[in-house]
Amino acid sequence: MVFFRSVSLLSRLRSRAVSSHSTHVYIDVIEFPGGKICLIEFVLQVQQSKIGNSVRWLQIQSSSDLDLHSQLKELIPEQQERLKKIKSEYGKVQLGNITVDQVIGGMRGMVGLLWETSLLDPDEGIRFRGLSIPECQKVLPAAKLDGEPLPEGLLWLLLTGKVPSKEQVDALSKELRSRATVPDYVYKAIDALPTTAHPMTQFTTGVMALQVQSEFQKAYEKGIPKTKYWEPTYEDSLSLIARVPVVASYVYRRIYKDGQIIPMDDSLDYGSNFAHMLGFDSPQMQELMRLYVTIHSDHEGGNVSAHTGHLVASALSDPFLSFAAALNGLAGPLHGLANQEVLLWIKSVVDECGENITTEQLKDYVWKTLNSGKVVPGFGHGVLRKTDPRYTCQREFALKHLPDDPLFQLVSKLYEVVPPILTELGKVKNPWPNVDAHSGVLLNYFGLTEARYFTVLFGVSRSIGICSQLIWDRALGLPLERPKSVTMEWLENYCKKAASS
């Protein structure tokens, strides 16, 4: 990415201000000579007596080059040299001490992965190439004025680190539509399963069948040099991203709509086309799908699906195989499957207590859930220590489009009731709601009521983040992942020796 430190101002295009608690973000977009455009972000944070100021400069892509592949060909050599320099100058720098708790506790908190596309801060939340979700909503191109960002724009941002122009996003959207043809044998592979099979099982089966056309596998078998690995990976990744909404909508229509398939509309963008193929054409549902795909796309590399995709790809498995493995991780109840559990739990509250539940009744139901040994789904997070920004932007969407919906009002009450109870328990590091606490209620309102299908939506979204990073894994030549494992006896002996020395 190019950072500008001193430039002459031609014209100020627009200014925006975003306020969140004690943080104020002011964004100015300025045009410079040669067609370059620069985003200037001023961040003022006030934390008790501490005042911090920072200015970040981020290049916004000009509209001169609409081809994403050519952008990567220009960027990759720069980033390859950057990584070589980091390795040669700082390779022996220690990043911290690993504890026994981390070894036996799922490697939680260990710094052990390079993941360029996004970074998750426990207090700030997710940033896509340095941009928070509210900032992405401000600067990424939208389908309409003041609309939600187009997922194609986020894909461009994740791959290049640059905010694209609307023309570039439109060109990428057109390219994705051109790649979205799914062979008949993919549908036949899915049809071999009973319709009662979980939607994620059917979706993953379809992704595995897509692998037959892998360009990376063909190129590897022909002996492509390592320096070129990223190019067939790019081809596979864009084709996969283009095709998964088609496969996912086929699964939905097969299970829930008697197999009445809706073809792609060549005039629609990625998010609205997905909604259309599912069978939902209202402008609000199209906007929701754009927002949903964008905010679920990436969440740094340590979560199960992202890490699984990276791990499998490190063995030089192609993007289809790697992403199918990631989907199998996403299907777990402790990861992506949680989004279906939230809506089912909320509906169980309504079934037992009614829609007009009081705050006291809701507290009693929450305690009943916890005392039965279960968790309240949608609350807590492995890394975050605040309300998930993905929850917040969905709440803002609900306030705009469905403020009177009874289930949304129940979700709002849960926001008030659950965190104090979890804090009182004293066992939860983060009592605040996460992304899954809200998405199901939004989907349900617009007619997508089948909770078992929700994780498939998550999977379609996650293809953008996982595939973006996979292209960079190949471009940077990241090696086979092979961490060291130890036995309990090894840990015991090591700790005894450490204690006696």
**Listed residue (426, 342, 349, 432) closest to 387, CA to CA:** 432
Cα atoms in the 13 Å half-sphere on the side-chain side of 48? 0
Q: Which residues contact 18 (CB under 8 A, 6 or more apart)?
A: 24, 25, 26, 27, 134, 135, 138
- Classify each residue of 439-476 as buried b or exposed e, where b means 16 or more C-beta atoms within 10 Å of its C-beta: bbbbbbbbebebbebbbbbbbbbbbbbbbbbbbbbbbb
Would you say 80 and 476 are in contact if contact means Cβ atoms under 8 Å apart?
yes
Residue tagged active-site, from 296, 299, 307, 335: 335
Strands 118-121 and 50-60: unpaired
Question: Which runs of consecutive H residues, i.e. helices, occur in 211-303?
Answer: 215-221, 230-256, 270-278, 283-295
Task: Name every residue whose Cβ is closer than 8 Å to that of residue 16 and which is 6 or more positions away in sequence.
Answer: 26, 27, 138
| Token pair listed for 55 | 């200015």
Q: What are phi and psi of 190, to 5 degrees?
A: -65, -40
- For the chain, first and last CA: distance in Å? 49
User: How many other CB atoms are found less than 10 A from the CB of residue 311?
Assistant: 20
- Quick one: which of 367, 297, 289, 281 has its CA closest to 336? 297
In three-state secondary structure terms, 177 is helix
Answer yes or no: 21 catalytic. no
Identified catalytic residue from 318, 381, 388, 438: 381
Helix axes 68-90, 151-160, angle to 10 degrees: 40
Catalytic member of 236, 298, 388, 436: 436
Tokens for 35, please give them: 């067609």
Cβ distance 318 to 216 under 8 Å? yes
Closest alpha carbon to 14 in 48, 49, 69, 60: 60
- Tell me which residues are annotated as active site: 335, 381, 436
